[in-house]
Structure 1
Amino acid sequence: MSHQETKKKDMVSIYQKSAYGTGTLVLNLLPAALGIFAFFLITAFGMDPLLAGILAGIPRLFDAITDPIMGFITDNTRSRWGRRRPYIVIGAILSGVCFALLWQLNPEASQEYNFWYFLLFSLAFTIGNTMFATPFVGLGYEITSDYNERTRLMGFAQFMGQIAWMIVPWFWVLIADPDMFANQAEGVRELSLYVAGVCIVLGVVPGLFCKGIDSSHIENTETISFKTLGSNLISVFRGIKEAFKNSSFVKLCAATFLIFNGFQLVASFAFFIIVFHMFAGDYGATGNWPAWFGTVSAMATAFLVIPIVTWMANKWGKRNAFIISTFISMFGYCLKWYGFNPENPWMIFMPIPLMSFGIGGLFTLMLSMTADVCDLDELRNGMPRKEGTFGAIYWLMVKLGQALALVLGGVVLKLVGFDPGLATQTVETMTNLRIADILIPVSTAGLAIWVMWSYDLTEDKAREIKQDLIDRRGDF
């Protein structure tokens, strides 16, 4: 494999990387906080678990519609501010406002009122978040056209994004603290305002300060209006079809779905294992260990994994870096058997540095590789470039994996005999849960390696594609 020095014009300044990383922090903070607050929808606001499940599922189905449409809109937008930036600013403000309103529920109100209130604002939040997230992801793909600089950009952005995962685990502690809030409902309502404010302020930063491709250079864009609605929808489906004809992109989606689904499926198991295996169901003795587990995992990802994965990608190529980092994570998952030790709680941190190579390597590398795929698509299908469409479809795979994980996680808990109504669990139940906690992510990671083994969009090929594009339409 040949390595070329990144040209000065293709390098992204620390200023630009920081601005984009700020957006990545928001991209992580909103869903992370949403996942925590959703738990209190049942315990603090008295929502029936079945209705709570419906409220979690409908917005994700709505996502499946809005994401590709937003991808098409941002790909075909022409404005003096570019194709992405106006939507990022508007979307950040709209999603922040709707997130705050979403959680101003009244526990004294009827369940029917709270259900419809939450559903309507969930759909409004989904629209706002799609307006922010889809163009934001597309913007990241086009900030630089250099093969290695893309990885460095995504590595830096993911580093900043991990700050959200360092903070969010402590929401559990804050909301349940009677010295801070009179009750859980008050904690959720007030904390959501702070989260929303932070997301609005930080979310507009990439829209104001990041620079993408000059939209005046983008050809063959379609007119977007009510008159062209029918032809626009046909074009949306045509873009999705072309994306799935790209075998390299399909492999990225499949590998991401497998690894993220496996990770999310067992994400909640760590909490149950810490409480019921390590501390025999004693929540008082458990204390802040689960929160520290999440925070240390994010810190290991940010300060250890992402720099190493970025270095490996620049040294040995993105595909090889992905395979190596995924193998390391599989070994880390196996170490959880010894790490969750009732005799020595500090050992829960032992597998974290190795486990973190899974998710840390996944998004650092996959987002960079998706940018390479966008070049390949332009070479095959011409303009307009479809970073928004590819970004929307990729993140839709992530969301579908997360949704499936939420369903299958409950199935696994039921199969192993876990009973949330019991103060303690049987030894057999906890043994089976611990086996599932290891076997599931190891299996999905192994399948992801198999999928990516034949991925062939190497650095040499990516640079050839870039040169062909420059010869065809010039360099911009």
Structure 2
Amino acid sequence: MSSAQTLSRDKLPLGQKVAFGTGNLVVNLLPGALGVFSFFLLTAFGIDPVLAGLLGGLPRLLDAITDPIMGYITDNSKSRFGRRRPFIFVGAILSGVLFALLWQLNPDNTEMYNFWYFLILSFIFIIANTIFATPYIGLGYEMTSDYNERTRLMAFAQTIGQVAWMIVPWFWVLIANPNLFESQAVGVRNLSIIVGGICIVLGVIPAIFCKEIKQESITNRDDITFKNIVKNFKGLIRSMVLIFKNLSFLRLCGATFLVFNGFQLVASFSYFIIVFYMFQGNYGDAGTWPAWFSTVSALCTAFLIIPIITWMSSRWGKRNAFIVATFISIIGYALKWWGFNPDNPWLIFMPIPFMVFGIGGLFTLMMSMTADVCDLDEYNNGMPRKEGTFGAIYWWMVKLGQALALVLGGLVLKLVGFDAGAEIQTTETLTNLRLADILIPAITAGLAILVMWKYDLTEEKAGEIKDALVKRRGEL
């Protein structure tokens, strides 16, 4: 059990937590909506599946470049408004506007016109979203220096972020509803404007109301100018080298990659199992069961699992909380074998409270532990603090896992014999699909436990580092 008391100066008011949490809703809503809307590139706008795959994959290559660059820029920026908040404000507006513009496609246009329109705007959107998301993540790492308050902040933000995943599954239902929109294309265009507007309003809130670390505490920052571009590039490489030497951080990245990639790889399998195993390929009978499965998962994560994870972390430490939560998720994956029952559809909700311990614990704890790692880096390597670069590299690992999951998920479906054109799948295919749905995330979760087994940045050690940094900076 934690024996340290959170100092009053390290406690965050509820308003600060709410303001930061609204940004996390945007961070989740944009990719969630993008994933749903991308399906309609094929059905509503007539884009070839191969071209649609390129539209999903090519912008990710740019993401891998822009994230660490933006992290370095925000770590070293200087302004009277702070080094994070100006970027968050501008990035939120640009992200919302560009997301809406991205989907103003017309099915009457030629396929190649729509392809190039979407691809070019996707690249611009990725840059805008990086301008918002990377400083936002870095801001969260520096809002408090307390070991447990960091977990409480991330737990609060993750709870608000889960609202996006309660809403996103219903976009399928709304867009395809002829009583709401005259066509899927019209539904996508109109709904994208609403999503973009929401993201602008919510995205600027952290920039206005959240407080950054005191600027005078940040020393030794590089001068970010076009004149110093070569020097700045060397500074970026130097920062990344130091980060990749941080074994504690590498463990966090490795565990996140395993848990998230395993989860994402089979994320769509539940939909197929519900439709083809539980309802014998009848989409009408399957109805809204898949959407409710996703929504209930998000509800459990937000209001049941995250509070439990926060309690576990304060009692047992973040590493132990992660290991226990990940092990419980393995039990949840195993329960899916009995939960997906054609004779009783309600049983699909049985594994959820156990299964979502994995993702619920992952980002709540890993975001908090990354903030601790930022202290460790300052302790070992001095100023400037690198929250932006750490956050950029961490989330690049998440995006890499997501991209690989998109590729490998299709490969697994092919290996189990799934035929997307068939109304009825063979018994062997469905058995293999159900086994893959359980075994893949369970195995990757088990490997993540092994990766984190020797993680040694405990509360006691983090406290010693914090005290040393306070003394070094000359703070009271």
TM-score normalised over the length of structure 2: 0.99
Give secondary structure in 2 for the equivalent of 1:145. Answer: coil
Measured after TM superposition, the shift of residue 43 of structure 1 is 1.0
1:2 and 1:460 in contact (8 A); partners too: no
Measured after TM superposition, the shift of residue 2 of structure 1 is 5.2
1:304-319 to 2 correspondence within 5 Å? 304-319=304-319
Matched, 1:468 2:468: yes
State the alpha-carbon separation in 2 of the partners of residues 445 and 139 from structure 1.
29
Measured after TM superposition, the shift of residue 209 of structure 1 is 0.2
Q: Residue in 2 aligned with 1:242?
A: 242
Q: Residue in 1 aligned with 2:374?
A: 374
Residue type of the alignment partner of 2:84: R
Give secondary structure in 1 for the equivalent of 2:266. Answer: helix
2:102 and 2:118 in contact (8 A); partners too: yes
Give secondary structure in 2 for the equivalent of 1:178. Answer: coil
State the alpha-carbon separation in 2 of the partners of residues 178 and 327 from structure 1.
44
State the alpha-carbon separation in 1 of the partners of residues 201 and 449 from structure 2.
39
Measured after TM superposition, the shift of residue 236 of structure 1 is 1.0
Sequence identity percentage: 70
Measured after TM superposition, the shift of residue 240 of structure 1 is 1.1
- Number of equivalenced pairs: 476
State the alpha-carbon separation in 1 of the partners of residues 413 and 339 from structure 2.
21
Q: Residue in 1 aligned with 2:98?
A: 98
State the alpha-carbon separation in 2 of the partners of residues 14 and 150 from structure 1.
13
Residue type of the alignment partner of 1:365: L
Q: Residue in 2 aligned with 1:133?
A: 133
Q: Residue in 2 aligned with 1:435?
A: 435
Q: Residue in 2 aligned with 1:43?
A: 43
Give secondary structure in 2 for the equivalent of 1:40. Answer: helix
Q: Residue in 2 aligned with 1:175?
A: 175
Residue type of the alignment partner of 2:94: L
CA deviation vs aligned residue, 1:408-438 (integer Å, no higher than 9, x gap): 0000000000000001101100000000000
State the alpha-carbon separation in 2 of the partners of residues 79 and 214 from structure 1.
12
1:16-35 to 2 correspondence within 5 Å? 16-35=16-35
CA deviation vs aligned residue, 1:209-247 (integer Å, no higher than 9, x gap): 000112232101011111111111111111111111000
CA deviation vs aligned residue, 1:150-193 (integer Å, no higher than 9, x gap): 00000000000000000000000001111111111111110000
Matched, 1:410 2:375: no
Measured after TM superposition, the shift of residue 112 of structure 1 is 1.0
State the alpha-carbon separation in 2 of the partners of residues 42 and 243 from structure 1.
41
Give secondary structure in 2 for the equivalent of 1:204. Answer: helix
Measured after TM superposition, the shift of residue 475 of structure 1 is 3.1
Q: Residue in 2 aligned with 1:389?
A: 389
State the alpha-carbon separation in 1 of the partners of residues 31 and 105 from structure 2.
18
Give secondary structure in 2 for the equivalent of 1:267. Answer: coil
CA deviation vs aligned residue, 1:339-362 (integer Å, no higher than 9, x gap): 000000000000000001000000
Measured after TM superposition, the shift of residue 474 of structure 1 is 2.6
State the alpha-carbon separation in 2 of the partners of residues 351 and 474 from structure 1.
51
State the alpha-carbon separation in 1 of the partners of residues 69 and 25 from structure 2.
24
Measured after TM superposition, the shift of residue 274 of structure 1 is 0.2
CA deviation vs aligned residue, 1:247-277 (integer Å, no higher than 9, x gap): 0000000000000000000000000000000
Q: Residue in 1 aligned with 2:120?
A: 120
Q: Residue in 2 aligned with 1:221?
A: 221
1:278 and 1:341 in contact (8 A); partners too: yes
1:313-352 to 2 correspondence within 5 Å? 313-352=313-352
1:22 and 1:206 in contact (8 A); partners too: yes
State the alpha-carbon separation in 2 of the partners of residues 310 and 52 from structure 1.
40
Residue type of the alignment partner of 1:188: V
State the alpha-carbon separation in 2 of the partners of residues 40 and 214 from structure 1.
46
Q: Which blocks of at least 5 consecutive residues in structure 1 are unaligned?
A: none
1:78 and 1:216 in contact (8 A); partners too: no
Residue type of the alignment partner of 1:24: N
State the alpha-carbon separation in 2 of the partners of residues 475 and 196 from structure 1.
42
Q: Residue in 1 aligned with 2:293?
A: 293
Matched, 1:445 2:449: no
CA deviation vs aligned residue, 1:35-79 (integer Å, no higher than 9, x gap): 000111111111111111111111111000000000000000111
CA deviation vs aligned residue, 1:304-349 (integer Å, no higher than 9, x gap): 0000000000010000000000000000000000000000000000
State the alpha-carbon separation in 2 of the partners of residues 217 and 253 from structure 1.
28
Residue type of the alignment partner of 1:280: Q
Q: Which moves more between the two structures, 409-418 or 211-220? A: 211-220
State the alpha-carbon separation in 2 of the partners of residues 293 and 241 from structure 1.
42
CA deviation vs aligned residue, 1:258-307 (integer Å, no higher than 9, x gap): 00000000000000000000000000000000000000000000010000
Matched, 1:146 2:146: yes
State the alpha-carbon separation in 2 of the partners of residues 474 and 356 from structure 1.
43
TM-aligned CA distance change 1:309 to 1:463, over 3 Å: same
Q: Residue in 2 aligned with 1:58?
A: 58
Q: Residue in 2 aligned with 1:422?
A: 422
State the alpha-carbon separation in 2 of the partners of residues 283 and 101 from structure 1.
32
2:75 and 2:389 in contact (8 A); partners too: yes
2:165 and 2:294 in contact (8 A); partners too: yes
